Structure 1
Amino acid sequence: MRRLAAPLAMLLASAACTTMEAAPPMPAAAADHMVSPILTTPEAVDHLTYAQPQIARVTHVRLDLDLDFDAKRVGGVAELDVLAQPGAEEIVLDSNGLEISNVTDGAGRELRYEIGGNVEEGGKGAPLTIALDGANTLRVEYMAPLDAEALQWLSPEQTKGGVHPFLFSQGQAILNRTWIPTQDSPGIRQTWEARITAPKPLDVVMSGVRQGEPEELGNGRRAFTFVMDKPVPPYLIAIAAGDIDFRAIGPRTGVWAEPATLERAWQEVGDTEDMVLAAEQLYGEYRWGRYDMIVLPPAFPYGGMENPVMTFLTPTFIAGDRSNNGLVAHELAHSWSGNLVTNAVWEDSWLNEGVTSYFENRIVEAVYGRKRAEQEAALAFAGIEETLREVGMDAPGSALHHEPGTDELGSAITYDKGHFFLRTVERIVGRERFDAWLRQWFDNHAFQPATSKLFYEDMMANLVGSAAEGEALKLREWIFEPGLPANVARPDPAAFAEVDAAVSAYTASGAIPATYSSWSAAEQMRFLDNIPKQRSAEQLAALDSAVGLSDAGNNEILFLWLELALVNRYEPAVPQAEEFLAEVGRAKFVRPLFQTLWDQGDWGRPIATRIYAKTRNSYHSVTRAGVDRVMNAAD
């Protein structure tokens, strides 16, 4: 997620004394759509877009697209409502490989356009500049490229059912510009609607509300219509199509999945309605209408993606005991932090992920109890400490807000340090006072972008009682400086007292805990993550025999076992690792296992090379990119 054009100096200077500048008056064509403001302060300039939204911006997108599973292409028309400053001569969109055939205005008059010739690295693509000539509606006829990075086309063999193909998209952070011509920046929120045609019997879902039943077209195809009437950042426009069925959970919640997966998926997410109620009690009304989920085939590269009204989930979270449902709580929490209030630039992505991780833990506490919440928080905190030990407390990427070009340090900072920042403030000022502040943050900034500076200023104005209290809370240090402030509210050491004692006993004598099978998934993960990493083949065989690691139904635990086994060159685990890597496309699991194999030199590299030759084409571009970096690493 992550880098643009030089700042618009004159426009930014005129806005530098304000926090937010309201959008100009809407043209008549967009009057029936909600229009969000844009931030105009220097820290809100998105370096990963070519758009110049202060001059001309997209407010609404209408898609009319055909899905061609034989050619693995998406194409059709995108109609854009434009809001422009008086005298604006052109609008700049983002494009990465889009094949534009024609651009007209609302009356069918052709408009000049140009795709920039100097395509930048890092997925930014090239600017698509269109002459406005007075138009406030643009009609772009186009085709997405064959290798559009946002789209994953699966053959029937790559699905659970094995009969029909499958398609899903993943837009975050800047991949949607490979299949939708728009201004692909989180700070430029847009409403949208879509009409999608697909071959029967496939169903289509999107991150908008489906309108009625599919339209029968009489040519072996059906048309599906969707509306998102609330402005969202464009990375949240998402689509999935395949042989999928639906099953309701509660009055406003349900799950889609392939028929062969649906029962297990439905059982696993059965607490979702309770989670929505718990979230509302914490931080206010759920504003998106329905909260549905789709459990995708295993090639999906992430644990989950918080697409509005249709969270995308990996099947790897299904454990049979709801032990990984923190993932569902996390994606649900994004309906407030991330979807309702969104980071204006990706350098502030902790505003999405860190706030959400804190919110997730509060939902887990409300639904599953304080002990489970404390244990999951302790696992997250261990990740922070491990990362900071590796990179150093002064590593620039360990600040929550980072400048463009700074290397990110992954989820331990963006997610977990952000979580513990809010956890620390809550513990110091008190939960009642903190919750009232966070609720007003969501209410007062709903459907708007935000920056770290804006978040800090809001805390100073609406949470803390004085500048001295803000200093004592170390608010600025938490957000803008590297490392971990001294006032961090560390997790309760008693959360894993039994497990940590078992780790000590195993380390000292090899004693395998007899109570392992009765532990929670978090306790089992704590044990596996903390025992000595150097084990003999005999020790690994004994551990596996005693607690059944190779038969674990929880993929988080199975991953930890495979990682431990491979780092010790344990031959009996190689076939299982090969099977796992052939079935799972989640980057969180795939990249580290290939890294572990690669790090084993002459033993592991031939294994990694052999497996990757078979699996690479089945992975999403996000997963492939990570593994490519591993496999191309210098000796």
Structure 2
Amino acid sequence: MKTILKLAVSLCLFVASTSSIAASNQSSENKDWHTLSNYQQIISTHIHLNLEVDFNRKQLKGYVDHTIKKIDPSVTTLAVDTRALEIHKTEAMVDGQWKATPFEMAEPDAVRGTQLSVEVPAAATQIRIHYNSRPEASGLQWLTPEQTAGKKYPFMFSQSQAIHARSWIPIQDTPAMRVTYTATVKTDKAMRPVMSADNNPKRSPDGVYQFNMPQAIPPYLIAIAAGDILHKKMSKQTAIYSEQAYLDSAAKEFEDTQAMIEATEKLYGDYLWNQYDLLVLPPSFPFGGMENPRLSFITPTVIAGDKSLVNLIAHELAHSWSGNLVTNATWRDLWLNEGFTSYVENRIMEEVFGRDRAVMEQALAAQDLNHEMKTLPEADQILHVEMQGRDPDDAFSGIPYTKGQLFLIYLEEKFGRQRFDAFVKTYFETFAFKSLDTPSFVSYLHKNLIDKYPGVVSKAEINEWIFKPKLPKNAPQPKSNAFKLVQQHIDNWLASKSSLADIPTGKWTIHEWLYFVNNLPRDLSIERMAELDKAYNLTQSTNNEVAHAWLLLSIQREYDKVNNRLSDYLISIGRRKLIVPLYKALLENPDYLTYVSGIYRKARPGYHPLAQGTIDALFKEAKNK
């Protein structure tokens, strides 16, 4: 019965989304600056991709068909976003036949790429664009066999968020619009392509694969990968796709994913995407995860062997409600995606792993945010951040994630969990398969929560959270009793009231270890560093988060016993969260410039273009000082 109900709900939402696909809850003055497309005049309601994965030339080549719908009947061109794409020809479907139609490429914009305008005949129903991507596409990474775990076949994967879909598809690249898609993808018979769509676990004997995404999604959620990818089922609704090296360990590590789905459904309503699979990528993936619907992309750095980092899986799953289902209309509204997702993630962790762990993760995130805010200009501490003229990748910081989460925890504490849960669930139902901007959310919040329960939270308090920098004075301050005990052990050891042998670390969770390392004094002596390392072997920690925290402290204290481990760590991992702070710390010390330059020469070819761009800028800044 439940399956039938979920299918019916999904079908109804899909029909509703496609019948009014141009509609998004977006203020008219808040047009997405980051697109050069004319999405407010004409839109793609569906695209079909026909692509060949060419590893030799490091390109995707073929065509994309846009099924078009005119919002303004007088419009005569379809304008789409591109970046470093080679456009060969364009055609229009008129009276059941493809006919050549003219196109024009505008002058490139440094942030937004190049606008492609295609003439749309009056009777046209579809536009076809023949093209190929270039090896330097910002949204694709091409790995040699040597850069993969198996060492036998190459690997390719996409990262379309925020505006990188335009580097491999000519498309209206804005989260304000949504599109369904199908695809035909051809690759070498020995390899398998996968997409953010329904993936058939069976291998194709001829290397040609078909994909279908029947729910309308924003373009940044269109994703592709190809390589020596295997499949392993975890549960009725979940599976792992990965190279052989990660298949079994990932399936064991992430075996609670089905329990997470069911816990979230109890809180916020049915999961509307059918399957939820995980693609474990090579270590060069620049993020922890990417919430591509039906197939989240995941870094192998969270396979710790003890499920200590699976909150990342909860985060990407949470996007199935906040982000994928209800989407930020522009990139200045990113907090609507990530703040809600961080909040839902933590609720999932509480349901599956208990309140104590959830509070520890809240406290660690809040501590990280407080440290980060000291380095951010006030303008970037605002949830509704101004992004015009800037790369939308600059919007990604702890502000949309953790400040957004704390705002929602604040509302939960003020209104009570029962009332707030009902509000969040109704919010997801009301805006399912739609895009929303901050002014529209504020209006909905007032109508359905603030005004409904008067005298609890004021308009001024809401405005302070969303439109002002810093954290309000009455912001939640998550505290863990376990961390209080860890802090006591730190204080006693530093005051020579106890030894390291007296600290009961045997039963510590990874969260307690992270708190321990992160809260050691920044002026700790080399002798004390060596004492810690001898007792706990922190330099060789196999948990990538703990290793990161220890390596960062070691760089700051010039504890050179970590140099070999640091070099290996930076060369073997491409996740920006873990490597960028280490490069920053190294480059702040002129004595490390030769050392870190040597590491980066070896590491850079294995990094994603997004990571390369970030770290290249750090080196440029350091050399200009």
Please state which band the TM-score falls in when normalised by the shorter chain. over 0.9
Give the C-alpha shift of residue 43 in structure 1: 4.8
1:176-575 equivalences in 2 (<5 Å): 176-210=165-199, 213-217=202-206, 222-391=207-376, 395-405=378-388, 410-464=396-450, 465=452, 468-471=455-458, 474-492=461-479, 494-509=481-496, 511-512=499-500, 514-575=503-564
Q: 2:597 aligns with which of 606, 609, 634?
A: 609
Distance 1:511 1:43 in 2: 62
**Residue pair 1:65, 1:74 contacting (<8 A) in 2 also:** yes
| 41-50 vs 244-253, greater mean Cα deviation | 41-50
**Residue pair 2:291, 2:317 contacting (<8 A) in 1 also:** yes
Distance 1:31 1:436 in 2: 23
Greater than 6 Å deviation, 4+ residue runs: 30-34
1:33-44 equivalences in 2 (<5 Å): 35=21, 37-44=23-30
Distance 1:256 1:34 in 2: 34
- Compared with structure 1, are the counterparts of its residues 629 and 507 closer, same or farther at alpha carbon in structure 2 (3 Å cutoff)? farther
Distance 2:468 2:17 in 1: 43
1:453-502 CA-to-partner distances (Å, cap 9, x unmatched) read 11111111111225644417822221111111222222135251111112
Q: Which residue of 2 aligns with 1:15?
A: none
Q: 1:625 aligns with which of 601, 613, 624?
A: 613
1:62-94 CA-to-partner distances (Å, cap 9, x unmatched) read 000000111111100100011112121111100
Give the C-alpha shift of residue 380 in structure 1: 0.9
1:45 aligns with 2:31: yes
| 396-405 vs 75-84, greater mean Cα deviation | 396-405
- Compared with structure 1, are the counterparts of its residues 386 and 399 closer, same or farther at alpha carbon in structure 2 (3 Å cutoff)? same
Q: 2:100 aligns with which of 96, 104, 110?
A: 110
**Residue pair 2:18, 2:45 contacting (<8 A) in 1 also:** no
For normalisation by structure 2, the TM-score amounts to: 0.92
For structure 2, which runs of at least 5 residues remain unmatched after alignment? 1-15
**Residue pair 1:40, 1:54 contacting (<8 A) in 2 also:** no
Distance 2:242 2:168 in 1: 24
Q: Which residue of 2 aligns with 1:12?
A: none
Distance 1:375 1:90 in 2: 53
1:416-450 CA-to-partner distances (Å, cap 9, x unmatched) read 00000000100110101000000010001000000
SS at match of 2:341: helix
Give the C-alpha shift of residue 414 in structure 1: 1.1
Give the C-alpha shift of residue 211 in structure 1: 5.3
**Residue pair 1:59, 1:189 contacting (<8 A) in 2 also:** yes
Give the C-alpha shift of residue 507 in structure 1: 3.2
Give the C-alpha shift of residue 188 in structure 1: 1.0
Distance 2:130 2:188 in 1: 21
- Compared with structure 1, are the counterparts of its residues 69 and 34 closer, same or farther at alpha carbon in structure 2 (3 Å cutoff)? farther
Distance 1:81 1:410 in 2: 32
SS at match of 2:69: strand
Report the aligned-residue RMSD: 1.9
Distance 1:110 1:295 in 2: 41
Distance 1:243 1:328 in 2: 23
Distance 1:423 1:76 in 2: 47
Give the C-alpha shift of residue 274 in structure 1: 0.3
Q: Read off the aligned partner of 1:74 and give its amino acid letter.
A: L
- Compared with structure 1, are the counterparts of its residues 353 and 326 closer, same or farther at alpha carbon in structure 2 (3 Å cutoff)? same
Q: Read off the aligned partner of 2:40 and give its amino acid letter.
A: Q
For normalisation by structure 1, the TM-score amounts to: 0.91
- Compared with structure 1, are the counterparts of its residues 94 and 590 closer, same or farther at alpha carbon in structure 2 (3 Å cutoff)? same
**Residue pair 1:506, 1:531 contacting (<8 A) in 2 also:** no
Q: Which residue of 2 aligns with 1:581?
A: 570
Q: Read off the aligned partner of 1:58 and give its amino acid letter.
A: S
SS at match of 2:187: strand
- Compared with structure 1, are the counterparts of its residues 445 and 409 closer, same or farther at alpha carbon in structure 2 (3 Å cutoff)? closer
Distance 2:398 2:329 in 1: 21
Distance 1:516 1:120 in 2: 54
Give the C-alpha shift of residue 452 in structure 1: 1.1
Q: 2:43 aligns with which of 25, 50, 57?
A: 57
**Residue pair 2:61, 2:132 contacting (<8 A) in 1 also:** yes
SS at match of 1:63: strand
Q: Which residue of 2 aligns with 1:81?
A: 67
1:172-230 CA-to-partner distances (Å, cap 9, x unmatched) read 0001101001100011111111110010211111000135855444xxxx111110011
**Residue pair 2:34, 2:388 contacting (<8 A) in 1 also:** no
